[in-house]
Structure 1
Amino acid sequence: MGLSIVLRQLWSIRVLFIMVLTPLLLLALPLYIGTVEAKAAFVLILMAVLWITEAVPIAVTAMLPIFLFPMLGVVKAKDIAPAYMSDTLMVFIGGLIMATAIETWDIHKLLALRILLSVGSKPRWLMLGLMLPTWFLSMWISNTATTAMMIPIAQAILAQLKATNILLKEETADSVIASLPHPFRLPTHPWVYCDDLSFKYREAADGDDIKYKKLCKAISLCICYAANCGGIGALTGTGPNLVVKGFADELYAAHGLKNPVTYATWMGYGLPLSFLVLMVTWNWLQFFFLGFSALLFYFSATFSCKDKKQSGENKVQEMIRKQYDALGPVTYAQKNVLVLFSILVVCWITRDLGGVGGWGDLFQPLYVRDSTPAILVAVLLFFLPSELPPIFCNRDKKNDRDMFRTPRPLLTWQNVHEKLPWGLFILLGGGFALAKGCHVSGLSRWIGLQLEVFIGLNKWLMLLVLCYICEMLTEFISNVALATLIIPILAELAMSTGVNPLFYILPAAVSASFAYMLPVATAPNALCFSYGHIRVLDMVTAGFFMNLIAIPMLVFATFTWGDAIFHFQNVPFTFDSVNKTLLLNSTM
């Protein structure tokens, strides 16, 4: 009993042990070995441990390079601090400000309910109707916000389906009892009768209850899985995409090359893959939870006729229609935000169309980046009015106060301050700072030398294995933290083995978003799990197949249209020179 209490007390202060013991155990690197590479490795390993254990918030861990690198003599403070506000991070900030405007004016709800009205209420199409807006919105606004918006809509639909099914069963029971001969009816208990027909009806009712529970599981998982899929479709969709973009910018700039990863090329690579994974997920969840017989029809009572089933579907559609009508007509503000959003997306895609030109060519070379339209449109949101200004308006009442009221802008700073994930910005910046420290210290090159043992392995097999490793780790580690740790290592692996760095780091970033098995893997998984319809076992069993099949689809995308966009087979001359230098140094 005493030992149990002591162990529990020790467990309660485990964070203190991790924060004290981890640096002590690693002190041999900066003190005994003492090289610049060893000092950078001290910071790298310490941050990896803290990110994996989450002893402190991951954004707090991301701030360690600000003081550790200067104190250890790896990078000057004035050089490491700018890494926390890079061009890539400004793209993310601009995109999230636009996302905040979309949420503020309920445009995401308008889109989601409009799609649900279009697809119908049968389970097959209902799932698709919930997945499509979740998938699309998660490309532009945070996966967590998208899931938090869609889950209540799904719960309302499920509640209406349940109420409709109960009503249909009651109507069916009454019609069955009325059709039985008089001796088989019990006058005091109209729901209990003795014919074999009653047992068949009860079995059908129990079966409907089981189907309803399975449908609840399928609906819950389809939303969080769609949010995870949508994040890989656009460059700003999720953190790992931005990590690889920022790292590739630094890598290519250091070698005097132009980074081929742009908004347009990323969408060309990630969007088809994202949609393919979405369709596989949609069909898999139907088969796993509803079975083949339920793919087209559901909630069909044994004795109910076609018009009653149609009536139940109509009631669900009416409920969705009421929610849609409650939002009212499209307002002036919503139209403005939609126009600005469309302009921003078009500007991102057309700035650089992968070597065939773009509007960025109108300016001096390398002066305009994706952050330029992102912040421009973000600034417009703070002064464009949310309603038509009452200037030169012909009104009957000249003393109407509305004539002199200043219109509210589309967005206020209070909206942004409350909704922007400031910790995520620090996390991304910390990743860029860590990568810079590893590069400046020479740790990245040292890691490349140690990875020469993989030179003889087939690069496609290596890619498959690496992606499965990233996919497995992302179930337990923040996907941004994972991408921050592993992308520099994979880039060095590529250059040391004569492979285009993008060939490893792009698929690795995507595989870090394939988190289907555990509630703790992503915030959308945790949100859907919190509603109580699914168990951990449900998510593990359903997600295992998705984890298994998603990586081959990713490798196929990399081999086909990914190679056509990024030319993975071609290794830039400067990278090949780095590879030869590494090999020469290793033989001396």
Structure 2
Amino acid sequence: MKFSHSIQLNASPEWQANYLAYSQLKKILYAIERAMLGVEQLPASPRDIEADGEGDGETSPLLEPHSPLVSKLTPDEANAFFVRALDEQLEKVSAFYAKKERLITDEVHSFVSDVSALEDSQGMEWDVESGLRQEPFSSETAIEEPTLPSQRQHNGIPSAGTWPRRQSSMPAEANRPTSGDFSSRLWASKAMKANRGRYSKRATDLFILLSELKDYVELNYTGFSKILKKYDKVTGSKLRRQYMATKVDLAQPFRPNSKEAINNLIDEVVRIYATIRTDGKIAIALTDLKGLLRERVIWERNTIWKDMIEQERKRETIGLRGKTADRDASDAKTEINLFGHKLVIPPIPWDLVKIAFCVGPFLFLLLYPTFKALEQRYCLAILVFASLLWALEVLPLFITAIMVPLLIVLLRVLRAPDVSPDGTVTYHRLTAKEAAKKIFSDMFGPVIMLLLGGFSLAAALSKHNIAKGVASFVLGKAGSKPQWVLLANMFVSTFASMWISNVAAPVLCFSLITPILRNLPSRSSYGRCLIMGIAMASNVGGMASPISSPQNIIAIGTMDPPPTWPQFFAVSLPLVITMDLLIWAVLLLIYRPSASAGAAPPELFGHSSYFADHPLDRKQWFIIGISFLTIILWCAESALESYVGDMGVIAIVPIVAFYGMGLLNKDDWNSMLWTVVMLAMGGTALGKAVDSSGLLLEITQMLTPHLAGMSPFKCLALFSGLVLVGTTFISHTVGALIILPIILKVGLSLPDPRANTLVMAAAFMTSGAMSLPVSSFPNMNAISLEDSTGLPWVDVADFIKVGIPCSVIAWTVVMTIGYPLMGLVGIQ
């Protein structure tokens, strides 16, 4: 294994940037080699050599054909250049070590002081209550408990042999056999039961931190030795021995007294843990702590290993699949005996069967005159064809989405209105050239820009560990049980959707569960349950506020008079809370999630906040500030419409801020979920085609005569069901644009006019359509989530078995709770 990979695998993930930049030093080394051969010249500073990527130059030829020779670098110049690079790395390592060593030492001081103070406060009361009376002893005759090899005074912390002695003159204290025995019995008493878990957790955390700091020193020391050995080998120099003796060995992290100090701190923490947990038995305590450290390391190695695979996939375009596509065809053959003869039945080509099942209805609808207008007939064929391809996953979802504009242009389903002088409106089919220009301009709309802005926010929050901190806080409040973690994340998703729309909110919320997903097996029921819970809750969140989804904005603009914000919340909040709780129960019933297969990183369920141990730096505060600014601007978009025009324009703010300031780079941009973007663009194209061709309007008008004389409740049930089915296959926004004005007219024509009620309920039901991956943006995001090895977390089957019951729940809640609430708050 390359040492650069060894550093990455063995390093503490949160300290990655502070280790020796071994790969960068290798690049500098090979740049020096080329300069010594006269192939190229060195830059002015080692920092000017490209640091991106992992390429080490070992496999590339040193002298390219026809390379112009330049003046060669002398050995002394090469040594001076490389020493400058080494000095920068040594300074970085030393500064980080000094900072960490000081912080951890202060934490150990504080821990020792807190333990001593607690024993002082609890000891006398427990001593009296327990009736402990033994032969007196004094500080001079106290029997010392066993000590660890390196126990001695360090940094003002008493050694384990003297820590902290109860040598008071109080009568009760004079009767204890040893302070160690007293402390162990005190910690084992009921009086200390509430404190044992908290203080042993602090001791464990300190032991892990100290062990990581010790490993940090050893790994970096090995790194300096290895890179210098490689440098001497490549350049023929003898720099290693001199540099290690005069600089590395004298640097603070690598001095013998620094190593001894770390060992003393570790021994002190082990002794305290032994007092608290193992009745003073140090050997058992050390075994326990090493076991906990091993569990932590295993989790981190597993996570880092997945990260390394993910990076390799991005770089080499490696695709892993859970099933072997090239398995031997003979495995699927079936043999039967027929009249004494073996009959071999070849395997059924299911892919071809699925394709035929999709193409058959498509061709039939193209030829059968379902509607008089060709554009409506052809649009219905495209709608059915795309829906079947999406439902059966015959092709990758984004490929089906890309195919939609191709069919729209080829079949010329788009049309444009012609207005005659007398006001009569007729339509004509657009030519292929006109249709192509229109459909491509429609596909990249404001919503796509909103997606990119949401992705950028999520990437920055995740990359700089802000999402991890929020996840720590949320999960710390929810506990470690999957059902409560699921419910907490669902409510967070719904709340986020209220204010930043259910387009951008799920992108942020999926980043919150990344620390959990990274430690779960592929296709884990817990992981799928979390992803589907966030997707469903984000859909429900689209009903929560007037700005949570475009369809709500359209509905408010359609209603006359429009509802006030208090009226809207009086109806929406009881609905979304009820839906979330019912959907939560459905998810638990379907997936039965368990944390036994691995749940979350150990620190997420700790007693302290992540941010308490990892204070926010300036970059993180900047990211948080830009995120809140973006959210505020999104919330105030209606008031700023004359300046920004659309929420998509506001989404450019985080993109420019994060990428412009270097907080995100081109690799982050390239790793965005472009499949989701293409899926959204294909869904938008299909929705525009359904609108332009007049297909949905035609279907709705066919139903209108049958609604005459219906009660508002029956009409609501019918139309909300129609909206639910229709917007399962097409864009929620497009469905709202087309059908809400028609519903308003139908509502006004009823004997008991409840037009606003019908419109508001129909708007809610557009968000409640969540049965397919293409039904909504939260669903599109969920279907595109992959684990580190490239396997999808959820598939279409998950949406069918979860989405259909959730859609029915949404329809039922709107009918039974939403309808009467609208009447109570005065929405007619």
Deviation at 1:425, TM superposition (A): 2.6
CA distance in 1, matches of 2:519, 2:376: 56
Q: What's 2:452 paired with?
A: 93
Instruction: For residues 215-264 of structure 1, give each alpha carbon's deviation from its aligned partner in whole angstroms, at most 9, with x where no partner exists.
Output: x9889746742452134425999xx956x479x59x98xx9x99989999
Counterpart residue type for residue 439 of structure 2:
I
- The equivalent residue for 2:181 is none
User: In the TM superposition, what whole-angstrom CA distance separates every residue of 1:292-314 from its partner, at most 9, and x where no partner exists?
Assistant: xxxxxxxxxxxxxxxxxxxxxxx
Give 3-state SS (helix, strand or coil) of 1:457's partner.
coil
1:130-169 residue pairs with structure 2 within 5 A? 131-133=490-492, 143=506, 146-147=509-510, 150=513, 153=516
Q: Give the SS at the match of 1:411.
A: coil
In structure 2, the CA distance between the partners of 1:106 and 1:318, relative to structure 1 (3 Å rule), is closer
Q: Counterparts in 2 of 1:542-561, with a 5 A limit?
A: 549-555=809-815, 558-559=818-819
Q: Give 1:92 deviation, angstroms.
A: 2.6
| SS in structure 1 at match of 2:660 | coil
1:338 aligns with 2:624: yes
Counterparts of residues 541-580 of structure 1 (less than 5 Å): 549-555=809-815, 558-559=818-819, 569=828
**Unaligned stretches of 5+ residues in structure 2:** 1-333, 337-342, 413-428, 593-600, 748-754, 774-778
| Within-5 A mapping of 1:230-269 | 230-233=538-541, 241=549, 244=551, 248=554
| Correspondence list, 1:185-264, <5 A | 221=529, 224-233=532-541, 241=549, 244=551, 248=554
From 665, 669, 687, the equivalent of 1:412 is 665
3-state SS, counterpart of residue 13 of structure 1: helix
- Give me the whole-angstrom Cα distance separating, in 1, the residues matched to 2:696 and 2:493: 38
Q: Which has the larger radius of gyration?
A: 2
Contact 2:604 2:610 in 1 (8 A): no
State the AA in 2 paired with 1:92: L
Give 1:524-543 correspondences, 5 Å limit: none
2:305 is the counterpart of 1:53: no
Distance in 1 between the 2:347 and 2:745 partners? 47
Name 2:442's counterpart in structure 1: 83
Where does 1:101-120 land on structure 2 (aligned, <5 Å)? 101-118=460-477
- Select the residue among 710, 714, 725 that pairs with 1:457: 710
Q: Is the 8 A contact 1:348 1:370 kept in 2?
A: yes
Question: Aligned residue for 1:27?
Answer: 366
Matched residue type, 1:9: I
1:278 is the counterpart of 2:580:
yes
- For the 8 Å contact 1:48–1:485, the answer to whether it is kept is no
State the Cα distance separating 1:154 from its structure 2 match.
8.3
Write the distance in 2 (CA, Å) between the matches of 1:93 and 1:266. Answer: 29
- Does 1:37 pair with 2:294? no
1:513 counterpart (746, 761, 770): 770
TM-score, length-normalised on structure 2?
A: 0.42
Q: Which amino acid aligns with 2:664?
A: L
RMSD: 5.7
Q: Tell me which residue corresponds to 1:67.
A: 406
Counterparts of 1:359-508 in structure 2, within 5 Å, are: 359-360=640-641, 363=643, 368-384=645-661, 409-419=662-672, 421-452=673-704, 453-464=706-717, 481=730, 483=732, 490-491=739-740, 494=743, 497-498=746-747, 499=755, 502-503=759-760, 505-508=762-765
1:439 & 1:286 partners in 2: Cα distance? 38
TM-score (normalizing by structure 1): 0.56
**1:134–1:226: 8 Å Cα contact kept in structure 2?**
yes
Gaps of 5+ in 1: 158-215, 291-314, 353-357, 385-408, 570-588
Secondary structure in structure 1 of the residue aligned to 2:606: helix
Contact between 2:683 and 2:730, CA under 8 Å: does it hold in 1?
A: yes
- Residues 53-78 of structure 1 show CA distances to partners (whole Å, capped at 9, x for unaligned) of 33323333333453333333443322
Tell whether the 8 Å contact from 1:87 to 1:371 is kept in structure 2 after alignment: yes
Q: 1:485 & 1:9 partners in 2: Cα distance?
A: 40
Distance 1:85 1:156, change over 3 A: closer
**C-alpha separation between the residues in 1 aligned to 2:526 and 2:397?**
31
Once the two structures are superposed, residues 249-286 of structure 1 have per-residue CA deviations (whole angstroms, 9 ceiling, x without a partner) of 9x98xx9x999899999999766644443355568889
> Structure 1 or 2: larger helix share?
1
Whether the 8 Å CA contact 1:218–1:285 is kept in 2: the answer is no
Residue 511 of structure 1 aligns with an amino acid whose one-letter code is G
Cα distance, 1:124 vs. partner?
8.0
| Cα distance in 2, alignment partners of residues 360 and 289 from structure 1 | 44
Higher relative contact order (CA 8 A, sep 6+): 1
How has the CA–CA distance of structure 1 residues 285 and 413 changed in structure 2, closer, same or farther, with 3 Å as cutoff? closer
Counterpart residue type for residue 770 of structure 2:
S
> Could you tell me how far apart the structure 1 residues matched to 2:464 and 2:356 are?
47
Show the counterpart of 1:165: none
Deviating more after overlay: 496-505 vs 428-437: 496-505
**One-letter code of the match for 1:377?**
P
Distance (whole Å) between structure 2 residues aligned to residue 560 and residue 285 of structure 1: 28
Give CA-to-partner distance per residue, 1:482-502, whole Å, 9 cap, x none. 748965774476266345684
The one-letter code of the counterpart of 1:69 is I
Sort the Cα spacing of 1:118 and 1:18 in 2 relative to 1 into closer, same or farther, 3 A: closer
- Once residues 623 and 645 of structure 2 are traced to their aligned partners in structure 1, the CA distance between those partners, rounded to angstroms, is 23
The count of residues paired between Structure 1 and Structure 2 equals: 436
Matched with 2:61 is: none
Structure 1 counterpart of 2:811, which letter?
I
Give 1:171's aligned residue: none
| Superposed displacement of residue 132, structure 1 | 4.8
Cα distance in 2, alignment partners of residues 32 and 119 from structure 1:
55
Secondary structure of the residue that 2:537 maps to in structure 1?
helix
Give, in whole Å, the separation in 2 of the partners of 1:49 and 1:321. 49
Matched with 2:635 is: 349
Q: 1:61 to 1:371 in 2, by over 3 A?
A: same
2:12 is matched with none
Q: For the structure 1 residues 117 and 319, does the alpha-carbon distance in structure 2 shift closer, same or farther, using more than 3 Å as the test?
A: closer
**Structure 1 position 510, deviation (Å):** 1.7
**Identity, % of aligned pairs?**
19
Summarize the Cα distance change of 1:226–1:446 in structure 2 as closer, same or farther, 3 Å threshold.
Answer: closer
Q: Secondary structure at the match of 1:382?
A: helix
In 2 relative to 1, CA 233–263 (structure 1 residues): closer, same or farther, beyond 3 Å? farther
Report the Cα distance in structure 1 between the residues aligned to 2:589 and 2:348, rounded to whole angstroms: 47
Does residue 348 of structure 2 align to residue 9 of structure 1? yes
User: Is the alpha carbon distance of 1:99 and 1:316 closer, same or farther for their aligned partners in structure 2, counting shifts above 3 Å?
Assistant: closer
Residue type matched to 1:369 in 2? D
How many Å separate the matches in 2 of 1:5 and 1:348? 64
Distance 2:586 2:827 in 1: 31
